[in-house]
Amino acid sequence: MKSLNLSATRTISTGSGVTVAVLDSGSFPHPDIRKNLLAGSDQTSSHHRDGRSDNDGHGTRMAALIAGHGRGTTRGIQGIAPSAKVLPVVITADGRGHADLMARGVAWASSQKAQIINISGVAGPGFELQDAIDEALDDDIVVVAAVGNTSSDAIINYPAAFDGVLAVGATGRDGDYSSSSVKDEKVQICAPGVDIISAQPPDRYGSATGTSDSTAIASGAAALIRAKFPNLSAKEVVHRLTATADDIGPPGRDDECGFGRLNIVKALTADVPPLEGGGNASSAPTSGASSAAGAVRPEFASPGAAAASEPASSNNGWLWGGLAGVIAAVGVVVGLVLRRRRT
């Protein structure tokens, strides 16, 4: 089957018992995700909102891709890990990425014992954000982030550029690298990111393209692994994903899709030797990757006739403008780094 073969993953793992924090624009209680949606946090407001609202729609899309439970077996969006829980954390109110709000969101999600943090967006660099990411990794949390879209980014942004973060790019409908995805040596894996259907507030559906969707799909896959192998460390979860990826570009790791294209069934079933000495999760896989013919695309249940006329949505989303902030911050960051080192 030319897909992610989610029908096969359902018999192995559905993500039960795993909580994924979705740091985004919030997650609306769409009928397809309502049962899996926890009370979260709004880092942009002082009114103690719980994250279960979404004026943009981007976060709701991501939540449904990760853990949508659909409406029965024939309607709605069934995400990659339909039994996982979503912890919505609002970190943007204006459609842009802010490193300070993102850092606060990461810290809050860590305090709530989320096992996976999904960041389908980008921001500029910052010590506060790096410290929050480092602490999340130290707490054995899998952090998954988008590398960025070529429509608005020329280079990989943050937090995907930080060591230890699973940096996700996009494949197209043909299963190969999508030119919409930023290339960089830090890219580790690619997942479907072109014409992806997902939920939109309040009860609609739409199609979009971008590494946001790829990141959510990879986070869903991480949730399946954490449920199937609860004793694996976060580094080993990332290693299992990269070690079983299908090598679709130049032999070995490359700047387009890193170790290759996400293969969820193989990640759940392959015999993957552990990292030697508990090394960095971004090191070369110890299990050979094989190529799988055909396209890869999530197998979502039909949204149903009522949603068929809904317009497609744009996936430019809330954070795809980080390059200018990165360039503007380079001088400041270099100076701070030098000062910190001297100190």
Using the 8-state DSSP alphabet, how is residue 305 labeled?
G
Residue among 262, 265, 275 at smallest CA distance from 232: 275
Residue 79, CA atoms < 13 Å, CB-side half-sphere: 40
The first and second tokens of residue 52, run together, are 């279960």
H or E, element range at 87: strand 85-90
24 is catalytic: yes
Q: Rounded CA gap, 243 and 239, in Å?
A: 6
| Set 24, 54, 184, 203: catalytic member | 24
How, if at all, do strands 75-78 and 19-24 pair? Answer: unpaired
Alpha carbon dihedral 262, 15, 164, 261, in 10-degree steps, equals 0
Is omega for the bond preceding 202 within 30 degrees of 0, making it cis?
A: yes
| Set 212, 214, 219, 282: catalytic member | 212
| Set 58, 69, 98, 239: catalytic member | 58
13 is catalytic: no
50 is catalytic: no
Residues 20, 24, 26, 28, CA torsion sign: negative
DSSP character string of 159-213? TTTSTTSEEEEEE-TTSSBPTTBPP-TT--EEEE-SSEEEEETTTEEEEE-SHHH
Q: Which residues are catalytic?
A: 24, 58, 212
